[in-house]
Structure 1
Amino acid sequence: MSDAFQEFDVRLKTIGRKRTKLARGYVSKVDKDGLIIFRPKRRRSGIPLRGLPYMFLGFMFFKAVIIAHLGLPLYGDRLSQLSQGSVVEQAGSVVMRADPLSLTLASYLRPILH
């Protein structure tokens, strides 16, 4: 009797999981034999792919503003201090390293900021 109860309990749990998935939205489809099948809608990722280039450009602009404000020698000193820290700080120094795009943007922003 306990095996039958366990199978029933497992079936109830799977039905519950399917219902929660379908509660977020579903798509209905008629099968070849006329049976209507409901499938949950696919979830989209949290970050839209169109926003990634804007995030990248915003980050480059942020680096350019910092470089233009501090100047390249002081910025390099701060990055070298950052590279001596923990693993997270070292990763930050690699990401914040000056690149040609941020240096070009900084050269245009420097007269505006000073």
Structure 2
Amino acid sequence: MSNGYTAHMRGDGLIVVKPKRRKMQFPLKGAVLVVIGFFAFKAFMLMSLGEVTYADRLGALQSGTLLEQGGAWVMQADPVTQAMVAFVNANLL
């Protein structure tokens, strides 16, 4: 009953208390954290491997199976990842 309750009086005078059902909500904070973590992972991989090696490995994935090609498309160095790498290189290294 932590989400609240409703009380109704039946025709015989008995008060019946029922808990309110909680509506299902999309966990927006969790989704945002997963997306940020994914971009941070890509930035870490790009920083640790270097741009040339990272591009070579993506090229190998692009010539693979359909699943590997999808992985290469997801892992390509996009502007967000490059901005994160530039920020870390400028401020932390």
More helix by share: 1
Corresponding residue for residue 102 of structure 1: 81
- 3-state SS, counterpart of residue 50 of structure 1: helix
CA RMSD of aligned residues (A): 2.9
Q: 1:80 & 1:65 partners in 2: Cα distance? A: 19
Distance 2:48 2:64 in 1: 23
- Identical-residue share of aligned pairs (%): 31
Deviation of 1:41 (Å): 3.6
Cα pair 1:83 1:89 within 8 Å, conserved:
yes
- Which 5+ residue runs of structure 1 have no aligned equivalent? 1-26
Summarize the alignment of residues 49-64 of structure 1 with structure 2, pairs less than 5 Å apart.
Answer: 49-64=28-43
Report the Cα offset of residue 44 of structure 1: 2.9
TM-score (ref. length: structure 2):
0.67
Q: How many residues align?
A: 85
Aligned residue type for 2:68: E
Q: Which amino acid aligns with 2:52?
A: P
Structure 2 gap ranges (5+)? 11-15
Q: Which has the larger radius of gyration?
A: 1
Q: After TM superposition, which residue ranges in structure 1, 4 or more long, deviate above 4 angstroms? A: 27-31
* 2:24 counterpart SS class: coil
